[in-house]
Structure 1
């Protein structure tokens, strides 16, 4: 993402065009891209991935008088989509690129920027039913506001290829679910979580959510990644007594598209549960638990 943002930023500066003029030139070519999306691309806060966005990048190469492929070639591989992703840095781009009224409305909500708050700690609990399929994921988080006036955050969930859909989201205490957008093509759910009070810079809040799963096959893993360092992350998997795996182990993936590294077997106790504790979780890494049924 950084390579593309750097190339785009240098090209914009060299052209002498403002983002408003660039947007105008795009519109003349029948390409619709918002100013905020152009700004996020330039600053590396999101990246073009959808077909419409990639077409816009090709048009930008022409407008900025670049060689064909100068920008598209810097995009690299498409980012992987794990089931549990705290992908706040990209969420605003998702709203802006979505050609639907709901997306445009949510993008205009005050304090719905990607970086108004950070996670201090997160605890996830995946509940596996007697049919070996995930029933739900319960998550409890502590966030801290970066600035005054934070009253909501965005969360995202992407389903597995075998899942029917990304499921549903429910709020427990201290917050409520606001507007929700679903992308059926990518099995993506993005939700606005409204806090029970407005935070000032340095204030903290508790967020308790439940993600109701919609699996289409046996579940074999649970994981999450983060866009910035996290002090403490706890992942627990609770199995039904009639569906206890023969092996359970932790893993970490240090880079997109990289291999999963086995971090060791995890004990399944008498309560048919196993857990993983990560101190100082690093941005971009995926931390998870896998298990084997046979």
Structure 2
């Protein structure tokens, strides 16, 4: 299993942040299911990210999920997580120069061995980023994940011209790319099963 942040940019800075948090339970949380939904407005900027994690403890005691968030674009600010279901924000540490925040999302109580938890949280940006000619979203899966669902939802007046699903294995193997379509609500999705370690995501180019 790779350490938290190992596949992220500025891994050395991330490791320094994580040293101030309790990550002892992370290796004992099995990733059952993860679902991310990214929402984009009429201005093509990212407005909200909603996430749901289903985790299962393989021993008694895990009581938090520790993760890392990045400033997407200079000036956009580092997004902060807000617990929605079965979790609340614990300690956070920030490296403003690197644009990185590490955070604890605390469960309501420690999990027992074999027990699972469904947790939901959202991210909101303090400042809207100025979109470029295209965009991307996704997650670095640093350990095998049974199911990962990724959605990118677009405003009906700002639909992309082309959407692709991509997989980038952590071992440097060849990337896989597949074109995907928008549904009737202006949303596209990608599904990964038993994937990791890898970067998995959706990228797109906007209409002219």
* DSSP-derived class of the 1:186 partner: coil
* Structure possessing the higher relative contact order (Cα contacts under 8 Å, 6 or more residues apart): 2
> In structure 2, do the counterparts of structure 1 residues 224 and 208 end up closer, same or farther at CA, with 3 Å as the change threshold?
same
Corresponding residue for residue 167 of structure 2: 252
Question: What secondary structure is seen at the aligned counterpart in 1 of 2:27?
Answer: coil
Distance 1:255 1:227, change over 3 A: closer
Label 1:46 to 1:190 Cα distance change in 2 as closer, same or farther (>3 A).
closer
Residue 97 of structure 2 aligns to a residue whose secondary structure is: coil
Q: Find the counterpart in structure 2 of residue 234 from structure 1.
A: 149
SS in 2 for 1:292: strand
Distance 2:48 2:113 in 1: 33
Q: 1:221 to 1:195 in 2, by over 3 A?
A: same
8 Å Cα contact 2:46-2:129 kept in structure 1: no
Residue aligned with 2:63, SS? strand
Look up the match of 1:114: 26
Report SS of the residue matched to 1:231.
strand
Aligned partners of 1:155, 1:237: CA distance in 2, in Å? Answer: 21
* Inter-CA distance 198–80: structure 2 relative to 1 (3 Å threshold): closer
TM-score, normalised relative to structure 1: 0.62
Match for residue 94 of structure 1 among 17, 28, 31: 17
- 2:129 is the counterpart of 1:216: yes
CA distance in 2 between partners of 1:80 and 1:177 (Å): 22
User: What is the Cα deviation at residue 93 of structure 1?
Assistant: 5.3
Q: Give 2:71's match in structure 1, choosing from 159, 164, 178.
A: 159
Given that residues 136 and 202 in structure 2 are in contact (C-alpha distance below 8 angstroms), is that contact kept between their aligned partners in structure 1? yes
- Contact (CA 8 Å) 1:117, 1:146: kept in 2 or not? yes
Determine whether 1:266 maps to 2:180: yes
Unaligned runs of 5+ in 1: 3-43, 48-77, 97-102
| Higher helix proportion (structure 1 or 2) | 1
Unaligned runs of 5+ in 2: none
Report the alpha carbon displacement of residue 125 of structure 1 after superposing the two structures with TM: 0.2
The equivalent of 2:92 in structure 1 is 180
Quick one: structure 1 residues 234 and 163, their matched pair in 2 at CA, closer, same or farther if it must change by over 3 Å? Answer: farther
Per-residue deviation, 1:162 = 4.0
Offset from partner CA, 1:80-123 (integer Å, 9 cap, x none):
429xxxx9xx9765332xxxxxx3xx34xxx7443131211001
8 A Cα contact 2:26 2:62, kept in partner: no
Is the 2:4–2:142 contact (alpha carbons within 8 Å) kept by the matching residues of 1? Answer: no
The answer for the alignment partner of 1:6 in structure 2 is none
CA separation in 2, counterparts of 1:142 and 1:124? 12
- Is this contact kept in 2: 1:237–1:275, CA < 8 A? yes
- How many residue pairs align between the two structures? 203
Q: Sort the Cα spacing of 1:137 and 1:259 in 2 relative to 1 into closer, same or farther, 3 A.
A: farther
Corresponding residue of 1:281: 195
From the two aligned structures, give the one with the greater strand fraction: 2
- Equivalent pair of 1:80/1:257 in contact (CA under 8 Å): no
Q: In structure 1, what is the Cα distance between the partners aligned to 2:75 and 2:30?
A: 29
Q: Which has the larger radius of gyration?
A: 1
